[in-house]
Each structure stands twice: as structure tokens, then as C-alpha cells.
Amino acid sequence: MAAPLLEVTDLSVRFDTDDGPVHAVDRLSFTLAPGEVLGIVGESGCGKSVTCMSLVRLLPETAAISGRAVFDGTDLLALSQRRLRQVRGRQISFVFQEPMTSLNPVFKVGRQIGEVLTKHLGLTRGEARERTIELLRLVRIPAPERRLDEYPHQLSGGMRQRVMIAMALACDPKVLIADEPTTALDVTIQASVLDLLRDVRERLGTAIVLITHNLGVVADIADRVLVMYAGRKAEEAPVADLYTAPQHPYTIGLLGAIPRPQDGEDTARRLREIPGRVPSLRELPAMCAFADRCPRADELSRSQVPELRVVRPEHLVACFHPGPE
Amino acid sequence: MTAVDTTVLVSPRARRRMLLRKRFLRRPMAVAGLVVVVVFVLAAVLAPVIAPYSAGATDFNALLSHSSSKHLLGTDELGRDELSRLIWGARASIQAGFFATMLAMVVAVPIGMIAGYYRGWVDTVIARVTDVLLAFPFIILAVGLAAILGPSLTNATIALGVGAVPGLIRIARGEALALREEDFVPAAIANGANDLTIIFRHILPNMASTLIVQATLTIPGAIIGEAVLSFLGLGVQPPTPSWGVMLQDAQSYLSQAPRLAVYPGLAIVLASLAFNVLGDGLRDILDPRTTR
């Protein structure tokens, strides 16, 4: 594996709320290689978004972040606000879940993209306009010369998400973090946005962190997958291994919950759900966080936190009883 | 499919403008307000051209005279043409109205936005100071200013502007509080924007329509305020005409020539009413929930 572009070590995020601390992320480590697509999967509230937002400190001030996140030789978590602003949008950029509201309604889309360009790259207005047209073309927006002068409310959801992606790519970042970029879109548009992300990776060599709760999306585009549960890493594996030989019962549960109409003999199969709910993150459990919902849980799972173990090259799992079904 | 055709042919900005114009024209009160406002502003600006006499010109052959072809609205106790003085007086009113509002905006909007954007102790401090200012009558402030700097239109304008600040701070703060929660704020931060960029380039333009409406509603208050201060001798000093000064002068002749009080009184009422209905109309058409 090439030298990692981003190396996160023991990242923990704690929110100090009025009702006490909430441990959103607990000692999470992962790496991202240049040009790699890493999928982060998990249920709502398992810490996927918080993990990524904490990297460039987009979280509210109540968040206490610890650990290291070395990007290109510097620890992002130790950077000053000033330096951090030069990283945000320039080196590491975000695409958010809600394309409908993430664009400022009173500016034309061309100006919003242009602002990033003039700010980070010091382009003149004319140059920024040229580059914006190029970017809109890159994200396959038809008639970019005209769309440039439109307001966000005149664009459809898919179109706006493309604009967001264009804006994120404006300064040719090394890492693109896409936080559920397709959740708010309908299925056909989802497919084309994913297609676009794949294309971006191939043409620009941008590493992508794709946050999603949809394993189908991940299968489509990711190289490696990180499954998170209750702020901890449950399993990490190359995408093919994860689908063919999932080890963690949680991963197996997630895979079982995907509808697969094309399976033929299985068409009448009832979708399996994972019983129970994500545990509250008020206090870190001194046991496997998944134990309460796990068919394999035993005394050991309920008394100790499982450490990550390597079951195959590059395939890690945090479970006392790993293995396929 | 005409709708589609216009989309292609007309730029979005022009289309929005057309829509707003259509909505505006559907509101007769607002249109009337605009007409009256324009008349007053023109009168103030063009006073030297359209006023039949200069403000101080006296005609001793016609003291306290009734309307005539020579003096359309009659004359006052010094034989000064009432119509001309009304027109010249509009200058003081419009000037106080605009400048006091502008002053209040320039001071209040940044403060309110900072309070709303940063929240926390900054917000608490600003909000408490605002409450104190709200409880402080502007007339006392005006008297104080006049006592220190001497009574003049400028000082009255400053007092009026400062008087309008706390209300505007609250409005700007409320808007900023709501807008900072919009998704485009974290999106801008993720793109490397700093606080200043977010406050002034992202949040401020989103509250522009609210501010325009609020300005239109602040102006009439300042116009009345100017009249009050001039009436009390704290604003425009005679013989310079102002509607407040004219009311003050008319007091002594109320039984002989009540029209001298009626005309400037009507002018004050009309001007402030016109700005008010215009502001209401603007608020209605700029409200995104408005559909007609």
C-alpha cells in the first residue's frame, strides 16, 4: 500500500452536553491512500459524520476532540484556525447531505463556486468564471454557461448536488469527503451522482471518503469499507472481502437488510432486521457495544471490549466470535 | 408551455423583478404610498426650483392672508408663503428621515449580526445593553445632545438615529440567529470561509429584504421625531423652515389662522403614513410565502 495521505490515529470525539458527556467517536483509527475511495458505513448516530467533520473541525465548540489526524505530514487536529481555513475547501473539501439547503439562496451558483476559487487560488473574476464553466462541465451539467447565472432554487436536487460537488472540486483537493451525498436524491439521480464521483476519482485522482448507511452505494464505488458501530470500528476490509466474507455479526446484519430483488430464488425472502437499537453513547460501555443486539454475544462480549484482530490481510474485525454465518 | 419559454428567454433576475413589480402593482395602498413618497422626496430635492418663493421671503402686504392666486396656501404672520415653506420644510424631514435611518442601520446591523452569529456572552452583553437603550427615551438623549452640542438638525438626526438603534439590533440579531443555522453556513465553513466572510457575504445578503422593509418603517418614525424635536426647539432652528418649526410658529395664531397648523400637520401625517404603507407593501411582496 502506498504511503497514506491521511492517517487517523485514536480519534475520539466527546460532546459535553447539559446531560453529561456523549462519546460520539471512541479511539477510531483509519488511513486513506491517495486516490482511494473509503466507504464509512453504519446506522444513524454511529459517529460517521462526526468522525469526518472532526477532521477539519467543523463541529460545534462543545466537541472535545483527541487523537491525531496526520494529513500530508501535518496533524490537522493541532492546526491553528487560520491554517485550518487554508486546508478546508483547498485540500480537504466536503459535500453535504442536503443539496437543497447547502447553497446560499441569494447568490447565483457561478458566484458561489467562483468565491472559493478567488479565495483559495487568487483567481480574477474572469478566470474564476472560466474555471467554473469547466467545473460545471466536469460534473456534467448541461449548458454550464447558462446555469452559471441561475439561482439555486432554479436547479433540481441532482443538479444542486452536482454544483456542490463542483464547488468541492474547485481547488482540486486531495481529499473529498462526501457525507451521504445521495440520500436526499431519488434513485436514478443517486446512480448518476455515484457515477460522477467514480469519474472524479479516475480523472483527478482525488481520494474520496464516502459516508453512507447504504451498503449498496459502497459496493458500487468504494475500494475499502469501514463499518462503524456506536463510535467504534466494527470491521474494516477491502470491499470484495466484506461482501463475500463478512466477519462481524453487525456487518452480516447490515448485509442481510439489503433488499435484493435480482436474487431470483430468494425473491420472497423476508428482509432481516437487526433487533434493538443503537446504544446510548452517554457512557462508554466496558463491553462489546453490539452485545445487546448480537446473536453471538456471550459472557466474554458482555465483560470486555473486543480489540481489533486481523482475520486476513487488511481485514480487521472487532469481535470475539468473528466469522461468516 | 409558455412558462418554459420565458425561462429560456428571460434571465432569472429579470423574471424575479417582473414578478415583484406585478405583485407591487396589485397593492393600491403600497403604490399610493410610493407615489406620495416620491412626491415628497422630489419636493425636498427640487425645492429651489419648484417652490414659488424662497423660504424666508416676506410679503408685508399679505400677513396671515388666506389662499389666493399669489399665495396658494396663504401666508403666515410674517407674510411668508406657506406652500413654499412646506416645500422647503420637506428637506429637513426627508433629511432627518433618511440619515437617521442610515445611521441606525450602519450601527445596529453589524452589532446585531455579531450578537446573533456568535451568541454566548457576546450576545448576552449586547442584548442587555440593547434593553437598557430601549428603556431610555430618545427625547432625553436629544435634549442632552442639544444641550451639549447646541440644537441643530444634525444633532437631532444623530439623536433620532441612536434612538432607532436598539430596535434594529434586535431585528438583525434575530435574523442572524436564524440564518446561522442554515446549511449553507457549515458548507461555507467547509470551503474555508472565515467568520467575516460568513457574516457579511453569506448572512447579510439573506437578510437584505428584512432590512429594506425595516428601513422603510424606521423613516416615518424619524420624520415624526424630527418634527417633534423641531417643535420643541431642539432641531431645526427658525427661521429655517421645518414642519415642526411651522407648527410651533402656528401655535400663537391658532385661533386666527388654524390653517397654519393644519398644513404642516397634514404634511407630517401624509409623509409618515406614505412611508408606512410603502413599507407594509414591500414586506408583503418580499415575503417568500406571498403568492400573489
Q: Dump pLDDT digits (tens) for B234-243.
A: 888 888 888 9
Tell me the per-residue pLDDT of A9-30, one tens digit each, with 9 for 90 and over: 999 998 888 888 888 888 899 9
- Average of pLDDT values for B118-146? 86
* Highest-pLDDT range among A38-42, A286-290, B285-289: A38-42
Partners of A236 in the beta sheet?
A226, A316
* Highest-pLDDT range among A201-205, A280-284, B32-36, B252-256: B32-36
Q: Give the pLDDT confidence score for residue B78 in this predicted structure.
A: 79
Q: Which chain B residue has the Cα nearest residue A113?
A: B191
Q: Give the pLDDT confidence score for residue B288 in this predicted structure.
A: 65
Q: Give the pLDDT confidence score for residue A42 in this predicted structure.
A: 85
- Name the 3-class secondary structure at A316: strand
Reply yes or no on whether the pLDDT at B134 is more than 60: yes
Reply yes or no on whether the pLDDT at A86 is more than 60: yes
What CATH number belongs to B19-44+80-286? 1.10.3720.10
Contact across the interface for B190 and A93, Cβ inside 8 Å: yes
Alpha carbons A221 and A325: distance in angstroms, whole number:
25
Q: Which residues contact B38 (CB under 8 A, 6 or more apart)?
A: none
- Average of pLDDT values for A246-250? 88
How close B39 gets to chain A, by Cα (Å)? 32
pTM strictly above 0.90: no
DSSP-derived secondary structure letter, B81:
B
Residue A64 burial by Cβ neighbours in a 10 Å radius (0-12, 13-18, 19+): middle
How close A209 gets to chain B, by Cα (Å)? 15
Tell me the per-residue pLDDT of A157-183, one tens digit each, with 9 for 90 and over: 888 888 888 888 888 899 999 888 887
Q: Give the pLDDT confidence score for residue B187 in this predicted structure.
A: 87
* Grid cell listed for A147: 446555469
Which ranges constitute the DSSP H helices of A32-175?
48-55, 81-87, 109-121, 125-138, 144-147, 157-169
Q: Label residue A38 by pLDDT band (50, 70, 90).
A: very high
Q: Give the pLDDT confidence score for residue B290 in this predicted structure.
A: 65
- Average of pLDDT values for B184-205? 88
Least CB–CB distance from A106: residue in B12, B193, B206: B206
Reply yes or no on whether the pLDDT at B2 is more than 70: no
Over its C-alpha atoms, chain B yields an Rg (Å, rounded) of 23
Contact across the interface for B184 and A90, Cβ inside 8 Å: no
Alpha carbons A7 and A30: distance in angstroms, whole number:
6
- Indicate the average pLDDT of chain A: 85
How close B1 gets to chain A, by Cα (Å)? 17
Strands (E), chain A: 6-17, 20-32, 37-41, 63-71, 74-75, 92-95, 175-179, 207-212, 224-229, 232-238, 309-312, 315-317
Q: Which residues contact A251 (CB under 8 A, 6 or more apart)?
A: A227, A234, A235, A242
- The domains of chain B are located at 19-44+80-286
Q: CA-CA-CA-CA torsion for B118, B120, B121, B126, nearest 10 degrees?
A: 60
Over its C-alpha atoms, chain A yields an Rg (Å, rounded) of 21
Residues in B touching A164 (Cβ below 8 Å) = 187
Lowest-pLDDT range of A75-79, B102-106, B145-149: B145-149
**A311 φ/ψ sector (left φ>0, alpha ψ -120 to 50, else beta):** alpha
* Grid cell listed for B156: 437631532
Q: Give the pLDDT confidence score for residue A121 in this predicted structure.
A: 87
Reply yes or no on whether the pLDDT at B181 is more than 90: no
Reply yes or no on whether the pLDDT at B9 is more than 70: no
- Indicate the average pLDDT of chain B: 85
Q: Give the pLDDT confidence score for residue A268 in this predicted structure.
A: 58
- Average of pLDDT values for A112-123? 88
Alpha carbons A278 and B261: distance in angstroms, whole number:
77
* Grid cell listed for A126: 474572469
- Average of pLDDT values for B56-71? 76
Percent of chain A surpassing pLDDT 90? 9
Q: Give the pLDDT confidence score for residue A59 in this predicted structure.
A: 85
* Grid cell listed for A249: 455479526
Q: Give the pLDDT confidence score for residue B289 in this predicted structure.
A: 67
Reply yes or no on whether the pLDDT at B109 is more than 60: yes
Tell me the per-residue pLDDT of A224-246, one tens digit each, with 9 for 90 and over: 999 998 888 889 999 888 888 88
Residues in B touching A96 (Cβ below 8 Å) = 183, 186-187, 190
Residue B61 burial by Cβ neighbours in a 10 Å radius (0-12, 13-18, 19+): exposed
* Highest-pLDDT range among A33-47, A290-304, B65-79: A33-47
**Torsion B83-B85-B87-B93 (CA) sign:** negative
Reply yes or no on whether the pLDDT at B160 is more than 70: yes
Residues in A touching B12 (Cβ below 8 Å) = 149-151, 154
Q: Which residues contact A17 (CB under 8 A, 6 or more apart)?
A: A62
Instruction: List residues in chain A touching B: CB distance below 8 A.
Output: 56, 58, 85-90, 93-94, 96, 98, 101-107, 115-116, 119-120, 149-151, 154, 164, 167-168
Reply yes or no on whether the pLDDT at A285 is more than 80: no
Least CB–CB distance from A154: residue in B12, B186, B205: B12
Q: Give the pLDDT confidence score for residue B4 in this predicted structure.
A: 44
β-sheet with A20-32: strand ranges across? A20-32, A6-17, A63-71, A74-75
Alpha carbons A188 and A73: distance in angstroms, whole number:
40
Q: Label residue B34 by pLDDT band (50, 70, 90).
A: very high
**Among candidates B101, B98, B94, which has minimal Cα distance to B227?**
B94
- Average of pLDDT values for A78-98? 87
The more confidently predicted of residues A158 and A260 is A158
